[in-house]
Amino acid sequence: MAAPALNPLTWTLREIARLERGGLRPPRLTETEHERWHRVRRRLGWVAFIELLHEDLAEAFPTSFALERWVTHPTLGLSDAEAKDLVAEAARPDDTDLLAFLRLVCRGLGVMDGGNVAALPKLQTHQRALELPGGGGRVAAYQVTTHNGLSFHEHFTFVADTDAERVAIGIAAAELRANAPKILTSAELQAERPKFDHVFGLKGYPSAERLASELSLEVRWA
């Protein structure tokens, strides 16, 4: 597991840029010289620009882009110069494929970026799976992109307790153009004890291993 990036907005902004390049949103972050922003910004700074970019996507992908849902608001204490640097960094060319990008996201957020997710059992369309903390949506994303008939938001439920874990899952949902994923906290999972056909986890993530032990879960580890 790598050290987290200085600001998780690094990764949500990179995802916004990818969505713009994919034609889902008009180019604003990726627009050359940000001409339209300079025409309308008046006294607004780059922090406001970042917040507006996220607000524009919050309805479609609330898990990572509805900033008010984060436990710690990521623009709190962010200077205008720092915000401008984040925008410039995110606007750089990026042709990384989906699964490789999600690994980079997890590494940058301090979530698990390793594990052989390809070796995990294939989920069947009549089954449902639970992805433990630290997966960052990578197990589900691999299965959805390599096996026909699976849906990120219908066939998988996720456990996440931190902003970083939730943001990683939300970015995976955006990459897949999925609906808002179902996410439980560890406490909610312990209280509800829902049944799943498979429980997937990445070995070495402390909270995943602890939760599996506490609930005596039969986990398929990657």
pLDDT digits (tens, 9 = 90+) for 163-196: 999 999 999 999 999 999 999 999 999 999 999 9
Domain that holds residue 41: 9-90
Question: Whole-angstrom Cα distance, residue 183 to residue 157?
Answer: 6
- State the pLDDT at residue 43: 84
- Does some domain include residue 107? yes
- Does some domain include residue 154? yes
- 80 and 107 belong to one structural domain: no
Which residue, 90, 125, 159, sits at the end of a domain? 90
Which residue, 74, 90, 106, sits at the end of a domain? 90
Question: Whole-angstrom Cα distance, residue 164 to residue 160?
Answer: 9
- 39 and 105 belong to one structural domain: no
- 58 and 23 belong to one structural domain: yes
- Does some domain include residue 4? no
- Does some domain include residue 102? yes
Which residue, 28, 59, 90, sits at the end of a domain? 90
Instruction: Give me the number of domains the chain comprises.
Output: 2
| Tokens (6 digits) for 88 | 């410039």
- 116 and 26 belong to one structural domain: no
pTM over 0.85: yes
- Does some domain include residue 210? yes
pLDDT < 70: residue spans in the chain: 1-6
- Does some domain include residue 147? yes
- 128 and 159 belong to one structural domain: yes
- 117 and 78 belong to one structural domain: no
Q: How many Cα atoms are found within 13 Å in the side-chain-facing hemisphere of 198?
A: 21
- 114 and 209 belong to one structural domain: yes
- 130 and 190 belong to one structural domain: yes
- State the pLDDT at residue 66: 98
- 205 and 142 belong to one structural domain: yes
CATH of the domain at 163: 3.40.50
Question: Whole-angstrom Cα distance, residue 136 to residue 102?
Answer: 8
Other beta carbons less than 10 A from residue 164's beta carbon: 22
- 132 and 175 belong to one structural domain: yes
- Does some domain include residue 205? yes
Helical spans, DSSP H, in the chain = 9-21, 35-40, 46-58, 62-65, 80-90, 98-109, 138-146, 152-155, 163-175, 186-192, 206-214
- Does some domain include residue 1? no
- 75 and 112 belong to one structural domain: no
- 142 and 65 belong to one structural domain: no
